[in-house]
Structure 1
């Protein structure tokens, strides 16, 4: 982030304030963004108070080994799927023993796309555990299709993941 007034800084700051107000920590599980979300969040001083860890699980093996994503899920639905995004978010949440996790898996391009999953297809997962002693995990997933070059797609994915996280945590009656 270049300065404290850019949109990414403001978005990261909003995420930080939300986590701090709840006394929560977050973990990230990133594939196509390659740590871009973590880098954006750690640009903020004091991020160690609310950012627990980040996983960059670019390969299928890494998704399975680091986040316990079942190989069968990857083989059945593909690495770029809401099912894998869900498993990544839940794996990060479980392994980090925290309240919130975000996952991103997609095709940033310029190659790797198919007619079913073109370049710009990105799947997201958000896993929330209201209290650590509680086994109930609320998970949301979503697929988006972004346009642009590789860097633009990755930046759009980062921004969407963080802004949607804030939306998910908004009080339902707000």
Structure 2
């Protein structure tokens, strides 16, 4: 996966990108903005580590957080949709997960939920179990997976 390809595809489509990140703490935004000229495509990034930030900055529902917990597909969906609604972007990716150490029987270390929202298309969510790789490795794997989601979304819509 390549940040250069993501930015080039978005540029070719006239699409702008936003990110909504929790466990990755802005790693996806950092990867995209590492590329010179990213400002014409990367619209903004939200780092919403706490539940209060998810609610205030992205409009994630307190009821959704209470019912499902922060690490859940419903929260990933609301994060991605919130980033899209609160930005000038056309495409938004969200990440919420348990980087570790720790976790629980029900939400183990390495579980990360992703959302991908695009104007005019249904929001997609998925959960990936990276396993107990260690905090840095889980965060890096989640960053790379989110970049892959962006790349696939932009590649799938080329020629459409």
TM-score class, shorter-chain normalisation, is over 0.9
Moved over 6 A (4+): none
Q: Does 1:74 align with 2:59?
A: no
What corresponds to 2:21 in structure 1?
A: 30
**Could you tell me how far apart the structure 2 residues matched to 1:171 and 1:69 are?**
28
**Could you tell me how far apart the structure 1 residues matched to 2:57 and 2:121 are?**
19
What corresponds to 1:6 in structure 2?
A: none
Structure with greater contact order relative to length (CA < 8 Å, sep ≥ 6): 2
Q: Which runs of 5+ in 1 are unaligned?
A: 1-9, 130-135
Aligned length: 158
TM-score of the two chains, using structure 2 as the length reference: 0.94
What corresponds to 2:94 in structure 1?
A: 103
Look up the SS of the partner of 2:123 in the other structure.
strand
Look up the SS of the partner of 2:124 in the other structure.
strand
Look up the SS of the partner of 2:56 in the other structure.
helix
**Could you tell me how far apart the structure 1 residues matched to 2:122 and 2:59 are?**
18
Post-superposition CA distance 1:22-64 (Å, at most 9, x none): 1111100000000011111111000110001000000000000
Q: Which of the numbers 152, 158, 174 marks the counterpart of 2:143? A: 158
Closer/same/farther in 2, CA of residues 172 and 67 from structure 1, 3 Å limit: closer
**Could you tell me how far apart the structure 2 residues matched to 1:36 and 1:46 are?**
18
Q: Which runs of 5+ in 2 are unaligned?
A: none
Q: Does 1:92 align with 2:83?
A: yes
Q: Is the 8 A contact 2:43 2:88 kept in 1?
A: no
RMSD across aligned positions (CA): 1.6
